[in-house]
C-alpha cells in the first residue's frame, strides 16, 4: 500500500475551522447544504467542460449526487460524479483558503461582531467544505479527476492542524469519476445519519440543485401473499361443500428493502409556469442560488418570445452587500439549454450599473460553448441585455408603486446610487431611469420626491425644473440663491448627494422641462423689466467696477442681478464653469 503523506494546513485554515466550529454550533446542519453545493459545482464544472471535451464523459455514469447514511455507525457518504480533484487540487482546495465562500464567512463573522448580528445568520453563508467538521470527527475525500489516472484520498480530523493524502488502493472504493466524501460523525451528532433526517435536510436546503440528489432510503412494499387456510377453522364449520372450490386465503405483508430515492425537484424553477411558483419558492431559490440570507425585495419571472427566446428570473435584493464583496458580482447566471455556462461577465449580458440585481437567464438560442468573444459579438446577447434591462426597470417601477412605501425607501437608500450611475452610463434608458430617481426639495421637510411629483407641483407659468447642489440640506436651505424662487413659490430640488448633480446634468431634461441650476449666472426667471434694469445699471455700474478692482483675480466678473431679494450679494458660478459643488467634488477627488 502506498504510504500516506502528511500536510500542514495553511494557518488561516486552522483558524477558520476553529471559527466555524465555534460560531455555527447551533446551526450544524448547514454542513449538508455546503457539501451538496460543492458536489453540484463539481457537476456543473464537468458538464460545462464536456461541451468542448466530450471525452470527459466517457465513463458513462449519470451526473448525480448520492447520499447514503448509516445511522447505526454514524457515517454519511456523499458521492458525486463531477469533475473530481487531482492530487494537487486536493492540496490547493482543501488545505488552503482561496475560495469565495469562506472569505465571505470570515467577513460576515467580523461584521457580525461589530454590529452584533445574530450569529445564526452566519450559518446562511457559504462556509464551505470545512463545515463538515461541525459534525464529524473524521472526514475522508476520495476523488478521481478525469485528468488523472489515479484516485486519491484526503483524510482529516477535527481539531487537527494537518491532514494526509494517499492513493486509493481498495478496488471496491474506486470511482469511475467524481468525489466521495465520508463523514464519521461525532458521538452527539450521529442523529444526522438518520435517513429521514437527511431526506428532510435535502428537501429544505437543496431543493433547487439542478442535478438529481438521491438518498438511500428504506422502503416498504405491501404484497399479498397466499396463505393456506387455517385447518382448525374449517374443521369447526364441519360440513364443507365439496363443490365449492377451496378458497385461497391471502394476507398482506410489508416487505422491507433499501433503495435510492430521488429527493429533490430537478426541474429548474425558471422553467415552471410563474403562476405555479409561490413567493416562498422564489425566495428559497434566491437564497440558495446567491448565498443570501435575507429574502429579496422583489422578483420578476418572465419568458420572452420572438426574435430571441429566453427565460429569466430577476431579483432585487433587500439590501446592499458590502462593496468589497462586490468586486466580482457574479450576479447574473447564464444557462444555455439548462446547462450552467457562467456567472462571470463584464457587462456583456447585463449593464454594470445594475450590478446589484441578481438573476438567472436561460436561453436556447446560444451555442453551448459560448465564449467571451461570442458574448461580446452576439446580436442575440445584445437583444437579451436590452430585454433584461427593461424588465429590471419594470420590476423597480413596481417597487416604487407598491402600497408599502417603505419598500421603495429601502430600495432607494440601498441602490439609488446605481440608478444615478445609470443616468451617466446609459443614455438609452434615461426615460426609464428618470421616474425612479428621488431628491430632496425645498417643499418637503426631509422626505424625498420624484420628478413626477415635482412636475405636478410646478406653477402654471414655470418652465424649468430648478435645482441647487449643496453639501448638506442645511446649506441648501440657507443659500441666498433660493430667495427669488421661494418668493415665487417655485420648488427647488436640493442635490445633496455628490452623484445627484452629475445625474441631473446627464438627463438634461424631464418631460420636456430643462433642469436649471439656480446658482449659475444667467438664471432667468422670466421677469425681465428692461427699463428698470437700465436704471439700476446706471446707479450701481460704478460700484461693480470698484468691487471688481478690489477683488481682482479672485472673481471673474461682478454683475448686477435681479435674482436676490434680501441678501446684498451672492457668489455664483460662471455659465460654463463648474458649479461650486462640482468644484468641491473635484477637489475631494471623489470622482
74 binds, options Mg ion, ligand ADP, none, Cβ within 5 to 8 A by partner type: none
Q: How far is the CB of 349 from Mg ion (least distance, A)?
A: 24
When binding is defined by CB under 6 A, the residue of 96, 100, 364, 371 that contacts ligand ADP is: 100
Residue 80 as a binder of ligand ADP (CB under 6 A): the answer is yes
Cell (9 digits) for 385:
441585455
Nearer to Mg ion, 100 or 514 (CB): 100
Give CA angle at 102 (101, 106), nearest 5°: 120
List binders of ligand ADP among 40-79 (CB under 6 A). 41-42
When binding is defined by CB under 6 A, the residue of 102, 132, 300, 378 that contacts ligand ADP is: 102
Nearer to ligand ADP, 41 or 261 (CB): 41
Please state, in angstroms and rounded to a whole number, the distance separating the CA atoms of residues 292 and 568. Answer: 57
Distances (CA, A) of 182 to 87, 141, 171, 254: 18, 6, 17, 32
68 binds, options Mg ion, ligand ADP, none, Cβ within 5 to 8 A by partner type: none
Q: CA torsion angle for 478, 483, 485, 487 (degrees, to 10)?
A: 120
* Strand boundaries in 174-291, DSSP class E: 178-185, 213-227, 249-262
Nearer to Mg ion, 130 or 454 (CB): 130
Q: Which stretch binds ligand ADP (CB under 6 A): 32-40, 203-211, 247-255, 576-584?
A: 32-40
Nearer to ligand ADP, 78 or 366 (CB): 78
Give the strand order in the sheet containing 162-167. 5-8, 162-167, 151-157, 136-144, 178-185, 75-80, 65-70, 213-227, 249-262
Distances (CA, A) of 117 to 120, 122, 123, 413, 467: 8, 9, 12, 20, 40
**Secondary structure class of 42 (helix, strand, coil):** helix
Q: How far is the CB of 125 from ligand ADP (least distance, A)?
A: 10
100 binds, options ligand ADP, Mg ion, none, Cβ within 5 to 8 A by partner type: ligand ADP
Please state, in angstroms and rounded to a whole number, the distance separating the CA atoms of residues 194 and 201. Answer: 11
Contacts with Mg ion: how many residues (CB under 5 A)?
Answer: 3
When binding is defined by CB under 5 A, the residue of 74, 84, 128, 146 that contacts Mg ion is: 128
Residue 38 as a binder of Mg ion (CB under 5 A): the answer is yes
Residue 128 as a binder of ligand ADP (CB under 6 A): the answer is yes
Q: Which stretch binds ligand ADP (CB under 6 A): 38-46, 254-262, 351-359, 571-579?
A: 38-46
Nearest to 86 by CA among 149, 166, 145, 46: 145
Please compute, for residue 379, the number of CA atoms within 13 A of its CA located in the half-sphere on the CB side. 2
93 binds, options Mg ion, ligand ADP, none, Cβ within 5 to 8 A by partner type: ligand ADP
Give the strand order in the sheet containing 339-342. 298-304, 310-316, 358-363, 332-336, 339-342
Nearest to 196 by CA among 135, 263, 253, 254: 263
Cβ-proximal residues to 307 (8 Å cutoff; 6+ apart), any chain: 383
List binders of ligand ADP among 257-286 (CB under 6 A). none
Q: How far is the CB of 95 from ligand ADP (least distance, A)?
A: 10
Residue 6 CB: number of other CB atoms within 10 A?
A: 9
List binders of ligand ADP among 329-368 (CB under 6 A). none
DSSP character for 318? Answer: S
Nearer to ligand ADP, 64 or 426 (CB): 64
Residue 82 as a binder of Mg ion (CB under 5 A): the answer is no
Q: How far is the CB of 128 from Mg ion (least distance, A)?
A: 4
Nearer to ligand ADP, 101 or 416 (CB): 101
Nearer to Mg ion, 101 or 178 (CB): 101
Nearer to ligand ADP, 42 or 209 (CB): 42
Residue 85 as a binder of ligand ADP (CB under 6 A): the answer is yes
Decide if 162 contacts 17 (C-beta within 8 A): no
Residues that bind ligand ADP (CB under 6 A): 34, 38-39, 41-42, 80, 82-85, 93-94, 99-102, 126, 128-129, 179
Residues that bind Mg ion (CB under 5 A): 38, 101, 128
Amino acid at each position: 500500500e502506498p504510504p500516506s503523506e502528511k500536510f500542514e494546513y495553511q494557518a488561516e485554515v486552522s483558524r477558520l475551522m476553529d471559527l466555524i466550529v465555534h460560531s455555527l454550533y447551533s446551526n450544524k446542519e448547514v454542513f449538508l447544504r455546503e457539501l451538496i453545493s460543492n458536489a453540484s459545482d463539481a457537476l456543473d464544472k464537468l458538464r460545462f467542460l464536456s461541451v468542448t471535451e466530450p471525452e470527459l464523459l466517457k465513463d458513462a455514469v449519470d451526473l448525480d449526487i448520492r447520499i447514503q447514511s448509516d445511522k447505526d455507525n454514524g457515517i454519511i457518504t456523499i458521492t458525486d460524479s463531477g469533475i473530481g480533484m487531482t492530487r494537487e487540487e486536493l492540496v490547493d482546495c482543501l488545505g488552503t483558503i482561496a475560495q469565495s465562500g469562506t472569505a465571505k464567512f470570515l467577513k460576515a463573522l467580523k461584521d457580525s461582531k461589530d454590529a452584533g448580528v445574530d450569529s445564526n445568520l452566519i450559518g446562511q453563508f457559504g462556509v464551505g467544505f470545512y463545515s463538515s467538521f461541525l459534525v464529524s470527527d473524521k472526514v475522508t475525500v476520495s476523488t478521481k479527476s478525469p485528468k488523472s489516472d489515479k484516485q486519491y484520498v484526503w483524510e482529516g480530523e477535527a481539531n487537527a492542524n494537518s491532514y494526509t493524502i494517499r492513493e486509493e488502493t481498495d478496488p471496491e472504493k474506486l470511482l469511475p469519476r467524481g468525489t466521495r466524501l465520508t463523514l464519521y460523525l461525532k458521538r452527539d451528532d450521529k442523529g444526522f445519519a438518520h435517513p429521514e433526517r437527511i431526506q428532510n435536510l435535502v428537501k429544505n436546503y437543496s431543493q433547487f440543485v439542478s442535478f438529481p440528489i438521491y438518498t438511500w432510503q428504506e422502503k416498504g412494499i405491501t404484497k399479498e401473499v397466499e396463505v393456506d387456510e387455517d385447518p382448525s377453522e374449517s374443521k369447526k364449520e364441519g360440513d364443507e361443500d365439496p363443490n365449492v372450490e377451496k378458497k385461497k386465503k391471502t394476507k398482506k405483508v410489508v416487505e422491507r428493502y433499501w433503495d435510492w430515492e430521488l429527493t429533490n425537484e430537478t426541474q429548474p424553477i425558471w422553467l415552471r409556469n410563474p403562476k405555479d411558483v409561490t413567493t416562498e419558492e422564489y425566495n428559497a431559490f434566491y437564497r440558495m442560488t446567491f448565498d443570501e440570507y435575507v429574502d429579496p425585495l422583489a422578483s420578476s419571472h418572465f419568458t420572452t418570445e420572438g426574435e430571441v427566446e429566453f427565460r429569466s428570473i430577476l431579483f432585487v435584493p433587500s439590501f446592499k452587500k458590502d462593496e468589497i464583496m462586490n468586486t466580482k458580482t457574479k450576479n447574473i447566471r447564464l444557462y444555455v439549454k439548462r446547462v450552467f455556462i457562467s456567472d462571470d461577465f463584464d457587462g456583456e449580458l447585463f449593464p454594470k450599473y445594475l450590478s446589484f440585481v441578481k438573476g438567472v437567464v436561460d436561453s436556447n438560442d446560444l451555442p453551448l460553448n459560448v465564449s467571451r468573444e461570442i458574448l461580446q459579438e452576439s446580436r442575440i446577447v445584445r437583444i437579451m441585455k436590452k430585454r433584461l434591462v427593461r424588465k429590471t426597470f419594470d420590476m423597480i417601477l413596481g417597487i416604487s408603486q407598491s402600497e408599502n412605501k417603505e419598500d421603495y425607501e429601502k430600495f432607494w437608500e440601498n441602490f439609488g446610487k446605481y440608478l444615478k450611475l445609470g443616468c451617466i452610463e446609459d443614455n438609452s434608458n434615461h426615460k426609464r431611469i428618470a421616474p425612479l430617481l428621488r431628491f430632496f426639495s425645498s417643499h418637503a421637510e426631509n422626505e424625498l420626491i420624484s420628478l413626477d411629483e415635482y412636475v405636478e407641483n410646478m406653477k402654471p407659468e414655470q418652465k424649468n425644473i430648478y435645482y441647487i447642489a449643496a453639501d448638506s440640506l442645511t446649506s441648501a436651505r440657507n443659500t441666498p440663491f433660493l430667495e427669488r424662487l421661494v418668493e415665487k413659490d417655485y420648488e427647488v430640488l436640493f442635490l445633496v448627494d455628490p452623484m445627484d448633480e452629475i445625474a441631473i446634468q446627464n438627463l438634461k431634461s424631464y418631460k420636456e422641462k430643462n433642469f436649471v441650476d439656480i446658482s449659475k449666472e444667467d438664471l432667468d426667471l422670466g421677469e425681465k423689466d428692461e427699463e428698470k434694469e437700465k436704471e439700476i445699471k446706471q446707479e450701481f455700474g460704478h460700484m461693480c467696477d470698484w468691487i471688481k478692482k478690489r477683488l481682482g483675480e479672485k472673481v471673474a466678473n461682478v454683475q448686477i442681478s435681479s435674482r436676490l431679494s434680501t441678501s446684498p450679494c451672492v457668489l455664483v458660478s460662471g455659465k460654463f464653469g463648474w458649479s461650486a459643488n462640482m468644484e468641491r467634488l473635484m477637489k475631494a477627488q471623489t470622482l
